[in-house]
Structure 1
Amino acid sequence: MLSRRAKLLYWMSRYLERSNFTSRLLITTSELQLDLSLEDEISWKPLLTVTNLNKDYIKLNKKYSEKKTIEYFILNKSNLSSIFNSLNLSQQNSLVIRDILPEQSIIKLNDLILKFNKNIKTRKNKKNYIKILNEVIQGSQSFMYSTDMEMQRNIEYQFLRLGRFIERTDMMIRILQSQSLRSKQHKKGYEYLTLEWINILKSISAFQAYRQYSKQDITVSDIINFFLKADIFPRSISWNLNQIERALYRISKKNDLIKKIKYLNKKVEKFNIKNDDIDSLLLFLEKTLKEISELSYNIEKKYFFFKLKIKK
């Protein structure tokens, strides 16, 4: 398979997954602010911080605002991770590799982007933005379902999966980081803290799965361990690392990156948060995110970097 086409598949999948999880983050943060009557800065600064966008946002807006932050993540063209940019980049990549993708997948992706571009022209208020975000979640999931049902399990499919699960792992860590930072900043009691983490579960459709996974009383540390270690839940860190390992193995059985994935997964399994120690959790998440970034770079270097041979 050509390196360029593999890269386009990989990044198309990553951009689409990013739009999905960014939408979930925005909806959850908005609901938390409403439920707990949090100030704009406490609600939105953690999200901007963990996505490394806080400085850029402040330059543009000077102060924190729910409406401005949601607009920044949905529409801002200077924000390379905005949903607008993520969807458009995903579509641009798909145009080159449309012969690889199932016809229905292309249709679903185009429908999602057409609907998104139409809806962002409507009157801008919170209700319309939440509607747009829900449609992005549904549309991106529809595309993923189509590829899972219709693509052959060949090397092209493995690069698609690799991009999806690298991005999903990255975004899940950022979700945990943003909530951990928020929990440190406000002075709500433990009951409110637990409610916050329950809302995070609901934001990724994980509450029912969590209750099946854990039979004990709901605690913050138990929810965090579920996010990290539930290897049968398809959004936990451990499960996603297992999927990355499988995709890499099917691309190439002799793969030095697999050892790094296994090592990282063991570190996740061994980590235990004690007494809801948010500081130790944040430190662990920061280190894990750094290792995921290094893994992403090594994937790029191994499969997508190439040098032109010039004859002298």
Structure 2
Amino acid sequence: MLSRSAERLYWLGRYLERTENTARLLSVHMNLMFDLPMSVEISWRNLLTIFGAGERFFQLYETPDEHNTMRFLLADTNYRGSLFSSLNFARENIRTSRDLMPDEAWQQVNEMYLLIREKSDSTANRRGRVILLNDIMRGCQRFTGFLSGAMSQDDAYRFIQLGRNIERADMTTRILDIGSTLLAEDRSDKMREYENTLWMNVLKSLSALLMYRKHRRLRINSGDVLDYLMKDANFPRSVGHCIDEVETCIRYFPQSEELFENISTVKKLLKTTDFYKITPKNLHELLDNIQVKLDEMHQQIAATWFLAVN
């Protein structure tokens, strides 16, 4: 297939995954903020940290309160990582790739784009925001389910999967970086009191709570949550599973040697890390290291299979 087409499909996968993850994370964080007492050290600023968007936010807004943070992450067209921007980029990539997938796929993405464009003003009130986020999450899931059941599992599909799993692994590491705060030795007594609730919301943000309960059969605690979301080979949003999916996809493509080396490095990091004994500092360094490796994978994918732009 044409390198230009492969690049569009890859970014379609990334942007739609980013859209769904953003919607899920905003929804869970809202519930967390409203349920916890104000004395717990979790704030709207934590969302900006997860998205790595603090610097850009303060260029546009002064105070990281609920209204500004939600406006920025949901509908701000001046921030390329907002939910609306991600969906807009996804729409543009699928619009120019309509000959490679079923028509219904384009219709689904276009409907989500029109929905958020029409209802962006509703982000100012909580009820409207919750409804919009739920609609977006369902739309992304319908798109993913439709492709898995109605699109040939060929190179076009694999490039979408490749983008989706790199983006998913990156977001999982960003969410788990909250663990650096939750495990800190200097955390308050109130934080310690609500620690299990906070880890439960980490699981919820990745739709992992039920599967964690089913397969671990344990009380929620930091070691088991980290081990499950980093290593579990069967849970689709664990870092380990995403890396396995990336490896499966690139086996079908030529000139993948450097990518396999990076994949082996990440797998070795996951295998040799004891998440039951890891310190907050080491956890933060590990997650940063994996994010760097994911970015290197992206750069290798772009250099190997996408058209170079001078």
Could you tell me which residue of structure 1 aligns to residue 246 of structure 2? Answer: 244
1:6 aligns with 2:3: no
Q: Is the 8 A contact 2:12 2:94 kept in 1?
A: yes
Secondary structure of the equivalent of 1:68? helix
Higher mean displacement: 11-20 or 115-124: 115-124
Aligned equivalents of 1:230 and 1:119: distance in 2?
Answer: 38
Whichever residue aligns with residue 158 of structure 1, its letter is R
CA RMSD of aligned residues (A): 2.1
1:264 aligns with 2:266: yes
Q: 1:40 to 1:89 in 2, by over 3 A?
A: farther
1:95 aligns with 2:95: yes
Q: 1:157 to 1:255 in 2, by over 3 A?
A: farther
Q: 1:265 to 1:214 in 2, by over 3 A?
A: same
Secondary structure of the equivalent of 1:250? coil
Cα offset, 1:110, TM superposition: 1.5
Higher mean displacement: 61-70 or 183-192: 183-192
TM-score by length of 2: 0.92
- Percent of residue pairs bearing the same amino acid type: 29
Secondary structure of the equivalent of 1:262? helix
Could you tell me which residue of structure 2 aligns to residue 169 of structure 1? Answer: 169
Post-superposition Cα deviations, 1:179-227, rounded to whole Å, max 9, x if no partner, equal 5336648522434111101112122221110012213332111111111
Q: 1:289 to 1:282 in 2, by over 3 A?
A: same
Higher mean displacement: 57-66 or 119-128: 119-128
Cα offset, 1:280, TM superposition: 1.7
TM-score by length of 1: 0.92
Post-superposition Cα deviations, 1:63-117, rounded to whole Å, max 9, x if no partner, equal 2201210110011111111011111111111111101011221221122112222
Secondary structure of the equivalent of 2:295? helix
Could you tell me which residue of structure 2 aligns to residue 280 of structure 1? Answer: 282
Could you tell me which residue of structure 2 aligns to residue 22 of structure 1? Answer: 22
Unaligned runs of 5+ in 2: none
Higher mean displacement: 241-250 or 170-179: 170-179
Higher mean displacement: 194-203 or 271-280: 271-280
Higher mean displacement: 272-281 or 236-245: 272-281
Cα offset, 1:124, TM superposition: 2.3
Whichever residue aligns with residue 160 of structure 2, its letter is L
Secondary structure of the equivalent of 1:232? coil
Aligned equivalents of 1:40 and 1:69: distance in 2?
Answer: 19
Could you tell me which residue of structure 2 aligns to residue 34 of structure 1? Answer: 34
Q: 1:34 to 1:95 in 2, by over 3 A?
A: same
Aligned equivalents of 1:193 and 1:65: distance in 2?
Answer: 23
Q: Is the 8 A contact 1:9 1:94 kept in 2?
A: yes
Higher mean displacement: 5-14 or 199-208: 199-208
Secondary structure of the equivalent of 1:251? coil
Whichever residue aligns with residue 129 of structure 1, its letter is R
Higher mean displacement: 263-272 or 87-96: 263-272
Q: Is the 8 A contact 2:122 2:129 kept in 1?
A: no
Q: Is the 8 A contact 1:17 1:167 kept in 2?
A: yes
Equivalences, count:
308
Aligned equivalents of 2:38 and 2:49: distance in 1?
Answer: 17
Q: Is the 8 A contact 1:43 1:182 kept in 2?
A: no
Post-superposition Cα deviations, 1:127-166, rounded to whole Å, max 9, x if no partner, equal 2112211111111111111111111111111101001101
